[in-house]
């Protein structure tokens, strides 16, 4: 339960990445809080679950995380697509001691997700207990470019694992709540729906909702917008950047960066889905 009565939801979260990056170990650490050095390759998919409590806006959610640990052998696109379908969030895993597994995310796994679904994604660099052989600046650059938050973890020690899965639960909730408009047979979020989503998240995330409401009103006026308008994508991007500058002073740079990355992820999903209709 999170601050009172929780809304119970069930979400499918999919773990993707190359062989031996530690997907199964991450799932076992998160669900059972155990680790085994012995490597066992996943055949097909392993499904486990855990309840994750998150707060989004003014509500608390108890999220039953159905975690699909998918085999990492590339070249089985048809089977991978079937496993990905219906997922609410994706966790992309690479091994920080093997740079090729990081590049593989962008060459194989991310295009696969983009093709099948518009879910939110979290990126995990695993095995930090063995040392880093990838420049974190490069990871951060990809994170900002694609709007995918990243976490550095160790399934062996547990470092960062809880934070990463918590973020995945939050993405499954927040991106799934964006309003949609219909055009022909395709369905995609409207910029008006995204603006409404971001406004609610910003206001309810502040201690003084009246002050936050005034700040957001002034931000809309800056772009000659009012409630009910459908901003352009450029205006939405400017609003996201402005909110980052505002929130940096109110909640700190790290939390402001996390909120910005999540909002960019929503905008990127909007672009992909709209291009598909």
On whether both 196 and 239 belong to a single domain, the answer is: yes
Q: How many domains does the chain have?
A: 2
Say how many C-beta atoms besides its own lie within 10 A of residue 261's C-beta.
20
Say how many C-beta atoms besides its own lie within 10 A of residue 30's C-beta.
24
On whether both 120 and 219 belong to a single domain, the answer is: no
CA 236 to chain centre: 19
CATH of the domain at 38: 3.40.50.300
On whether both 258 and 237 belong to a single domain, the answer is: yes
pLDDT in the model for residue 54 = 92
On whether both 17 and 154 belong to a single domain, the answer is: yes
| Dihedral sign of CA atoms 171, 275, 239, 151 in order | positive
In this predicted model, what pLDDT tens digit does every residue of 159-196 receive, in sequence order?
999 999 999 999 898 875 443 333 333 334 578 778 87
Torsion of CA 82, 29, 266, 58, to 10 degrees: 120
CA 191 – CA 230 distance, rounded (Å) = 5
On whether both 165 and 210 belong to a single domain, the answer is: no
On whether both 11 and 86 belong to a single domain, the answer is: yes
On whether both 209 and 147 belong to a single domain, the answer is: no
On whether both 85 and 154 belong to a single domain, the answer is: yes
Q: Cα angle vertex 237, ends 232, 242, to 5°?
A: 125
In this predicted model, what pLDDT tens digit does every residue of 225-242 receive, in sequence order?
877 778 999 999 999 999
Beta bridge partners of 241: none
In this predicted model, what pLDDT tens digit does every residue of 115-151 receive, in sequence order?
777 678 999 999 999 999 999 999 999 998 888 899 9
On whether both 95 and 211 belong to a single domain, the answer is: no
On whether both 85 and 42 belong to a single domain, the answer is: yes
On whether both 191 and 162 belong to a single domain, the answer is: no
pLDDT in the model for residue 189 = 57
Weakest-pLDDT range from 25-29, 109-113, 206-210, 255-259: 206-210
Question: Domain span at residue 212?
Answer: 180-275
Weakest-pLDDT range from 19-33, 39-53, 63-77, 240-254: 39-53
Domain boundary among 148, 176, 204: 176
Cβ(48)–Cβ(69) below 8 Å:
yes
Weakest-pLDDT range from 92-96, 100-104, 179-183, 223-227: 179-183
pLDDT in the model for residue 276 = 56
1 in any annotated domain:
no
On whether both 131 and 213 belong to a single domain, the answer is: no
CA 192 – CA 240 distance, rounded (Å) = 14
pLDDT in the model for residue 2 = 43
Report which of 212, 196, 208, 216 is spatially closest to residue 263, judged by C-alpha positions. 196
Cβ(179)–Cβ(196) below 8 Å:
yes
Judged by phi (left if over 0) then psi (alpha if -120 to 50, else beta), residue 252 lies in left
- In SS3 terms, the chain reads as CCCCCEEEEEEEEEEECCCCCCHHHHHHHHHHCCCCCCCCCCCCEEEEEEEEEEEECCEEEEEEEEEEEECCCCCCHHHHHHHHCCCCEEEEEEECCCHHHHHHHHHHHHHHHHHHCCCEEEEEEECHHHCCCCCHHHHHHHHHHHCCCEEECCCCCCCCHHHHHHHHHHHHHHHHCCCEEEECCEEEECHHHHHHHHHHHHHHCCCCHHHHHHHHHHHHHHCCCCCCCCCCHHHHHHHHHHHHHHHHHHHCHHHHHHHHHHHHHHHHHHHHHHHCC
């Amino acid at each position: 339960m999170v601050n009172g009565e929780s809304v119970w939801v069930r979400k499918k979260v999919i773990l993707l990445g190359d062989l031996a990056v530690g997907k199964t170990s991450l799932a076992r650490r998160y669900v059972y809080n155990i680790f085994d050095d012995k490597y066992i390759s996943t055949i097909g998919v392993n499904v486990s679950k855990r309840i994750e409590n998150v707060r989004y806006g003014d509500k608390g959610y108890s999220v039953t995380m159905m975690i699909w640990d998918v085999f990492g052998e590339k070249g089985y696109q048809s089977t991978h697509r079937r496993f990905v379908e219906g997922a609410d969030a994706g966790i992309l895993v690479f091994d920080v001691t093997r740079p090729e597994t990081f590049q593989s995310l962008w060459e194989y796994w991310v295009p696969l997700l983009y093709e099948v679904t518009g879910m939110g994604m979290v990126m995990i660099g695993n095995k930090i207990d063995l040392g880093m052989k990838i420049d974190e600046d490069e990871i951060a650059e990809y994170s900002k470019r694609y709007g995918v938050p990243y976490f550095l973890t160790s399934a062996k020690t547990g470092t960062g694992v809880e934070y990463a899965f918590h973020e995945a639960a939050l993405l499954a909730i927040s991106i799934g709540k964006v309003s949609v408009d219909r055009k022909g047979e395709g369905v995609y979020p409207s910029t008006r729906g995204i603006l409404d989503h971001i406004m609610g998240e910003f206001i309810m995330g502040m201690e003084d909702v009246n002050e936050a409401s005034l700040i957001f009103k002034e931000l809309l006026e800056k772009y000659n917008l009012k409630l009910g308008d459908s901003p352009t994508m450029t205006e939405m991007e400017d609003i996201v950047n402005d909110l980052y500058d505002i929130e940096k002073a109110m909640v700190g740079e790290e939390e402001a960066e996390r909120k910005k990355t999540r909002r960019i992820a929503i905008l990127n999903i909007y672009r992909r889905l709209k291009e598909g209709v």
